[in-house]
Chains A and B, each alone.
Chain A
């Protein structure tokens, strides 16, 4: 494997790990809110979270490029606050991946939270546990399979993403050239051997991830 390919593998793992962490941090409150609220905006928010499923990744990437660019609302906001523009940076990839993979994290979490229901939370409250305490001591352990599923899906989906990073990444080695882009470039450049090696690696990775997902399914609690 060439150094650029290795760099792409490493970058992909870094991106997927960062994205998964951010997704769990951002997705958990969103999923919690969606699971518990009776607010009128629930339907609308749930739909927005699901939208990345509908949009083709390159389209999503294109809109992110525009939105995060100097003309876009977020791009201007970033500029006004003196921050680096996001396109063509690792940070930009993280932002794009978080949006792109959001439904894969929010939905399993929401389902897990909904399955817990009101009862254990009330029980915890009558045993002196405040809301945060209850979340960490009761909700997290009970929703653990949901967190596993969400984390694995978010990670795997980020590893496999192509269209979004293609648009917003700029294919900069070591910064935004991820594995899927490297494979694509090898294919386009007719370097099929290198492409096969990377693709095979990716398939093995996907197999292991999905296997883990199935093995760690709920229903085999100690």
Chain B
């Protein structure tokens, strides 16, 4: 995937000004707090902001440049809105067919069956949208977008309007989407959990600009980013299930630079999984101790060091092999232990979350 995005759109309240080269497939999270311009960026890409100036090429196809601008309906995209926006006068089946029957036969890369099966909505086809739950509606909306075989799928906080239980209902479907389809996705979210679970790339938005972008693991591990994640600062990386211990219900996960034990989430040996480690769950020791409750003790090298928002705190980047980790500790401790870049230390990881 290669998406070249350059937009300038002045609004009274803020100005969107982005210039991005999004290469690398999978899901790209567009992350930022509300009002940072995430949705506006997505709407510009879709062509829903007619006054936006810019340049947009998607996999070699020019959708917009100084001279011309493809109207929305000529852009091969799927758009999932925050509120599902199903057509109330059409059944689920007719909603699904709406986009599909408007594209040429040879363009139909995703079949209706595939979309229905992927989102698990086969039992809903005859229903009217008004008789669906919020989560079902959103699944239908996603399937509807997929069924139009888009070259680019835009998702604007598709889970934001749903409660926790509904989110948990849908997230597995989004993961399947990620694993089974080749369609690049731009996924707007302000939820670190969703990003950690789904994204491969991340674009961080702030005040209408792209503050940072790159692969998820590298970008999240940067200590110089004004990500303002607060308690959610941490890293996400992937690993492979090496062993499952039936007696203690634990799984051993290997990653580039070491291994950790996590609660067994049911993933089979050999499966690739995602691990998320929050900075606040990582502490540092100068030497190896066996007499602590923490299972995951790993040797690491300090790479960088930065102050946190709160004057008492410091954020430390370390590497375990090639995998970066973040650790949050008090400035006082950092001074007491005389921590400095290049130093070899032990990291104690209190909690590792399997996020997918």
Contact = CB atoms under 8 A, between A and B. Distances in A.
A126 B72 contact: yes
A123 interface: yes
A130 interface: yes
B106 interface: no
A125 B87 contact: no
B73 A137 contact: no
Nearest to B102: A128
A128 B89 contact: no
Contacts of B79: 122-123, 126
B145 interface: yes
Interface string A114-147: 0000011011111111100110011001101000
Interface in B126-170: 128, 144-145, 148, 154
Contacts of B47: 125
Contacts of A222: 128
Contacts of A120: 85, 87
A130 B74 CA distance: 8
A178 B90 CA distance: 42
Contact of B89 (A125, A127, A129, A141): A141
Contact of A130 (B48, B73, B77, B88): B73
Interface residues of B, number: 26
Interface residues of A, number: 20
A134 B73 CA distance: 10
Contacts, number: 65
A124 B85 CA distance: 9
B61 to A, nearest CB: 15
A91 B14 CA distance: 55
B71 A130 contact: yes
A129 to B, nearest CB: 6
A130 B47 CA distance: 13
A127 B48 contact: no
B85 A142 contact: no
Nearest to A222: B128
Contact of A122 (B48, B89, B99, B148): B48
B102 A129 contact: yes
B98 interface: yes
B81 interface: yes
Contact of A119 (B81, B98, B103, B144): B81
B78 interface: yes
Interface string B63-78: 0000000011110011
B277 to A, nearest CB: 37
Given A119-B83, A138-B87, A141-B89, A125 B98 contact: no
Contacts of B103: 128
A134 B145 CA distance: 16
A191 to B, nearest CB: 51
User: What are the nearest 4 A-B pairs in CB distance?
Assistant: A127-B99, A126-B79, A125-B72, A128-B102
Given A123-B87, A141-B90, 17 more contacts: A119-B85, A120-B87, A123-B85, A125-B47, A125-B71, A125-B73, A126-B78, A127-B73, A127-B98, A127-B148, A128-B73, A128-B103, A129-B98, A129-B102, A141-B89, A142-B87, A222-B128
Interface of A: 119-120, 122-130, 133-134, 137-138, 141-142, 144, 221-222
25 contacts: A119-B83, A120-B85, A120-B87, A122-B48, A122-B72, A122-B79, A123-B87, A124-B73, A124-B98, A125-B47, A126-B48, A126-B72, A126-B154, A127-B98, A127-B148, A128-B73, A128-B99, A129-B98, A129-B102, A133-B102, A137-B98, A138-B87, A141-B89, A142-B89, A144-B89
